[in-house]
Amino acid sequence: MSERKVRVRFAPSPTGALHIGGVRTALYNYLFAKQQGGDLVFRIEDTDSQRFVPGAEEYIIESFRWLGIKFDEGVTFGGKYGPYRQSERKEIYKQYVDQLLNEGKAYIAFDTPQELEAKRAATENFQYDAHTRNEMRNSLTMSAEEVEALIGDGTQYVVRFMVMPGQEVHVNDMIRGDVMIKSDILDDKVLYKSADGLPTYHLANIVDDHLMEITHVIRGEEWLPSAPLHVLLYKAFGWADTMPRFAHLPLLLKPEGKGKLSKRDGDRLGFPVFPLEWHDPKTGEVSSGYRESGYFPEAVINFLALLGWNPGTEQELFTLQQLVDAFDISRCSKAGAKFDYQKGIWFNHEYILQKSNEEIARLFAPMVANNGIDEPMERIVQVVTMMKDRVNFVKELWPLCSFFFIAPLAYDEKTVKKRWKENSAEVMTELGTVLEGLNDFSIENQEREVFAWVESKGYKLGDVMNAFRLALVGEGKGPGMFDISAFLGKDETLARLRRAIEVLK
């Protein structure tokens, strides 16, 4: 069994946009597979036609393409274990349902939804199980002829798994250790519905994991309650020897730490809970995505990797390959992980710093062009070099940097009041003369000459610089003053100075 090649799967149901928790599940599967030299399979679990949402599958595939998480096989990726869409595997499942029926490990039940409802209303905590199945309308309480006749008449039925009471069911979880529950608390789960000829999640999931030779099932904590049933199913089929190992990942919690993260938390606090923008085909509602909000895929990956897992060191910045190398599933926490979305923003900032100025400039250039500015790339690179450490997202650069490209038309009132003194017009006129006389307009030379002049005049350096900034920028923000004037060049600097003196004097 240890000889088996590691094979894991990400198996979403196409019921809408992929939640960010699902992205983390896929990421951990990817990291685990790549580290073990194994394969990651992409399976679509669409046996619940009621919940099918058109476009969801394409959305999920596009999300992972953007994030750079590659599948080795599966829906749209091919592979020899296909088809990988459960709705295309109907006949396969039927065989295995019949196997359980023939071996007496499952039975046919005719109870209508109304009958079940009545039973639930009449009996407190009613559960379809060893204690109650003999009071119900099923192949255990009816004669074979009766059952056959009903099926012959086209009566709808379900197939239920017969759970034997009095067993201890052990789920050996790579994160949680040995989880034991008593089989008595399990109900006889529906495995198949004649109405659509499709299996339920539980049966399809186990059959596929077996047939696709899945070695490890890594999934969200919400599936832990299903795991004992899954263990019993593997045993019922005689597949206990090749049963995958389980790992149930910790829940993602609200940023405040209490309760499960929901889309409403994102709406309330202003962060996306989906990788890409999602247009709900039913309601028309649009939900924001990490991509459209301006996050780098690497930042999202890095952020998610550390939500529920830690490397045991202080290191926070990881490339995908470094994550593959460092990942250790036994270092995942059992306790839920607080969704600290501010940390996600921090990661994006770190990736802006890490990326070359040229790369950020390439992303910023279209925004500059969209504002009607035609600047050569090297000028945009210069601006990015001065300003990128101040932003978390590339799109924040424009409002911060527009003054480099567009001379101020107006001057911020508050700043004028504070920074434009009685003698400012006069001092700025003098400054203009000093700057005009410079042949070398470099940052260093301007600084040297201007400081010398300020000192010789006994001016307060702060006052001079504040007025200078107001004249060139229009308000009190921006990087070092001579960085700005050197970038603008002598002519533009003098023009801006003169205009400010004109307007403000």
Residue 94 annotated to the active site: no
Rounded-to-integer distance, Cα 234 and Cα 253, Å: 32
Two structure tokens written together for 266: 């994102």
Which is nearer to ligand GLU, 60 or 147 (by Cβ)? 60
Positive or negative CA dihedral for 78, 82, 84, 89? positive
Residue 45 or 298 having the CB closest to ligand GLU: 45
Q: What is the 3-state secondary structure (H, E, C) of 65-89?
A: HHHCCCCCEECCCECCCCCCEHHHC
Q: Would you say 219 or 388 has its CB closer to ligand GLU? A: 219
Per the DSSP assignment, residues forming a β-bridge with 159 are: 108, 192
Least distance to ligand GLU from the beta carbon of 359, Å?
A: 35
Chain residues that interact with ligand GLU, rule: CB under 6 A: 11-13, 45, 205, 219, 223
Of 13 and 392, which CB lies nearer to ligand GLU in the complex structure?
A: 13
- Scored b (16 or more CB within 10 A) or e, 213-246 reads ebbbbbbbbebbebbbbbbbbbebbebeeebbeb
b/e code 152-166 from CB counts within 10 Å (16+ = b): eeeeebbbbbbbeee
Shortest CB 249 distance to ligand GLU, Å: 10
Tell me which of 94, 105, 254, 263 is the catalytic residue.
Answer: 263
Measured between alpha carbons, how far is 496 from 201 in angstroms, rounded to an integer?
A: 69
Choice between 61 and 387, CB closer to ligand GLU: 61
- At which residue do the structure tokens 């060191």 appear? 313
CA gap 233, 243 in Å, rounded: 10
The set of residues, in sequence order, having a beta carbon less than 8 Å from that of 398 and lying 6+ positions away, is 364, 367, 368, 371
Determine the Cα–Cα distance for residues 368 and 376; give it in Å rounded to an integer: 11
- Confirm whether residue 193 is marked as ligand binding: no
- Closest separation between CB of residue 61 and ligand GLU, Å? 15
Residue 10 CB, nearest approach to ligand GLU (Å): 7
Q: At its nearest, how many Å lie between ligand GLU and the CB of residue 251? A: 13
Q: Which are the catalytic amino acids?
A: 263
Binding positions for ATP are 263
